[in-house]
Amino acid sequence: MLYYEFSKEKGRFMPRDAKTKQYIYIVQALLEPTSCKIGITNDLERRLKEYNNITGKSKGNKSRYLFTCEVKDMAEVENAVKDTFSALREEKSREIYFYNAKLFEGYVKFIKSHKMFVREIYIKTDETKPIVKIVKKTTPTLEERGISSKDVLQKAQKRKNDEFYTRLEDIEKELSMYSKKVWKNKTVFCNCDDAVGDGEKDTSAFALYFLQNFKELGLKKFICTHFGDNGDLFNQGTKGYVFTKDGFHEFKDYPKGYTGSFDDPLSLKILKEEADIVCTNPPFSMAKDYWEITVNSGKKFIIISNITNPITPAFIPYFKDNKVWAGYNRIDYYLNPKRELVEASGHWYTNIPLKNRPKYEHLKIIPLKDIPAKYKYYDDAKTLVVDNCFIPDDYKKPFAISARPILNGILEKGFKIIQETQYFPYKKGVKKFGRVLIQKE
């Protein structure tokens, strides 16, 4: 049935539906910075009042619009939002969406590009800042965890070298190289301090990448944990989230003493029972332990580690046994906790087959006699040493190379590492930097 109402705007009776404007909005309560609500209404002002009647009861927890716009068919846009961002909706309430500045940009971009979008509406809201920030106490005390403050100090010292955060652009550059099939219906586990908070400072770019691309990659599940050890730089305490197409929930019922460490029993259980692919930048100071657990888990992985791993004793066996190989890219810049750019040489490593490694082009596999003299020599032990990615294709004996040819894929070109230890050439008694010995198969 069609109802008619007098429209002051038009000066005549109009069908009610034709007169009523339709809006979609994103609203947030000041004290709930990691969530927002996306909804529809015919009356933005009234809806905000309704929200404030609920959340505004608690002092300082006012709701405000982050984005509002007029649309032609609000139900259609809302359904499209629900469908596209299904993993970012809270599993139980279904009303709450995960909020983070970057995810918010994604919501807005999606709505604005919808065919039913009419125009953005700016509403000036009361910008009262929250007086207190409520931080959920999820981190157990030192006593509860059975450690002393001295342990914490020692750890803090060690951690200094671990606080390098990966940039989103480096993650995008690497992960976009893998076939979509790699991710389809898979559970991805980010297990080294990969939390998502409301802003860039407390967000791991790994978590952000998988949240932004959840649907596009066709993921089944995404699990991320935040390492909540004392001195925790994301400052969120131990946390873990599970995202599926039916929504997300925070880990419930953490076992006593759970720190979010990759080797904690709960993290190991997730790794063993749920994860298909592990993806993160683990702490440099614990790379040896991390590799041992991850490589031996039998799961697929794409991780970041030091660029010299192929010639570092603890890691050479993985390359020798073909359990790990270099990913596509190196990484030269990270962010420190203040989000300043810092330089450090890392590389991606994986056990997922690569297609057409572009860096094969850097390998110069040619007869020994054609290798320029300045890039080849025999050391004091008469072992051939080659540099600058030159590789002799007609040399039958073992010869020494640096990490670079391995990162460029030489082990996929019919050569194998023949010794698990580092090889140090001596030239006229002078020790040169460490290498590995390889040989044509």
Ligand X SMILES: C[S@@+](CC[C@H](N)C(=O)[O-])C[C@H]1O[C@@H](n2cnc3c(N)ncnc32)[C@H](O)[C@@H]1O
Should residue 379 be labelled a site residue for ligand X when binding is judged by CB under 6 A? Answer: no
Strand partners, 89: 97
Query: Site for ligand X (CB under 6 A): which residue of 78, 163, 198, 379?
Result: 163
Should residue 159 be labelled a site residue for ligand X when binding is judged by CB under 6 A? Answer: yes
What's CA 140's distance to the chain center, in Å? 26
Should residue 174 be labelled a site residue for ligand X when binding is judged by CB under 6 A? Answer: no
Q: Which of 313, 293, 291 is nearest to 304 (CA)?
A: 291
Query: Site for ligand X (CB under 6 A): which residue of 100, 187, 281, 350?
Result: 281
Tell me which long-range contacts 235-239 makes (C-beta under 8 A, separation of at least 24). Answer: 235/202, 236/195, 236/197, 236/202, 237/135, 237/136, 237/137, 237/138, 237/139, 238/138, 238/139, 239/138, 239/195
Query: For residues 302 and 285, what is the distance between their CA atoms, to the nearest angstrom?
Result: 18
Query: Site for ligand X (CB under 6 A): which residue of 78, 170, 194, 379?
Result: 194
Q: Are 260 and 236 in contact (CB under 8 A)?
A: no
Query: Site for ligand X (CB under 6 A): which residue of 85, 251, 262, 325?
Result: 262
Least Cβ distance, residue 304 to ligand X (angstroms): 7
Considering the complex, state which of residue 55 and residue 100 has its C-beta at the smaller distance from ligand X: 100
Strands 415-417 and 390-392 come out as unpaired
Least Cβ distance, residue 366 to ligand X (angstroms): 38
What's CA 385's distance to the chain center, in Å? 39
Please tell me the count of residues contacting ligand X according to CB under 6 A: 21
Considering the complex, state which of residue 261 and residue 350 has its C-beta at the smaller distance from ligand X: 261
Q: Are 120 and 112 in contact (CB under 8 A)?
A: yes
Should residue 74 be labelled a site residue for ligand X when binding is judged by CB under 6 A? Answer: no
| Burial (Cβ within 10 Å: 0-12, 13-18, ≥19) of residue 9 | exposed
Least Cβ distance, residue 339 to ligand X (angstroms): 11
Q: Which residue stretch of 107-115, 199-207, 310-318, 366-374 sits at the interface with ligand X (rule: CB under 6 A)?
A: 199-207
For residue 252, how many other CB atoms are within 10 A of its CB?
7
Least Cβ distance, residue 263 to ligand X (angstroms): 6
Q: What are phi and psi of 56, to 5 degrees?
A: -70, -10
Should residue 203 be labelled a site residue for ligand X when binding is judged by CB under 6 A? Answer: no
Considering the complex, state which of residue 225 and residue 402 has its C-beta at the smaller distance from ligand X: 225
For residue 109, how many other CB atoms are within 10 A of its CB?
10
Query: 217-256 mask for ligand X (x: CB under 6 A)?
Result: ----------x-----x-----------------------
Q: What are phi and psi of 46, to 5 degrees?
A: -65, -40
Should residue 211 be labelled a site residue for ligand X when binding is judged by CB under 6 A? Answer: no
Query: For residues 348 and 20, what is the distance between their CA atoms, to the nearest angstrom?
Result: 54
Should residue 162 be labelled a site residue for ligand X when binding is judged by CB under 6 A? Answer: yes
Considering the complex, state which of residue 67 and residue 209 has its C-beta at the smaller distance from ligand X: 209
Considering the complex, state which of residue 79 and residue 176 has its C-beta at the smaller distance from ligand X: 176
Considering the complex, state which of residue 329 and residue 422 has its C-beta at the smaller distance from ligand X: 329
Should residue 294 be labelled a site residue for ligand X when binding is judged by CB under 6 A? Answer: no
Q: Using CB under 6 A as the criterion, which residues of the chain lie in contact with ligand X when the complex forms?
A: 159, 162-166, 192-194, 204-206, 227, 233, 261-262, 280-283, 286
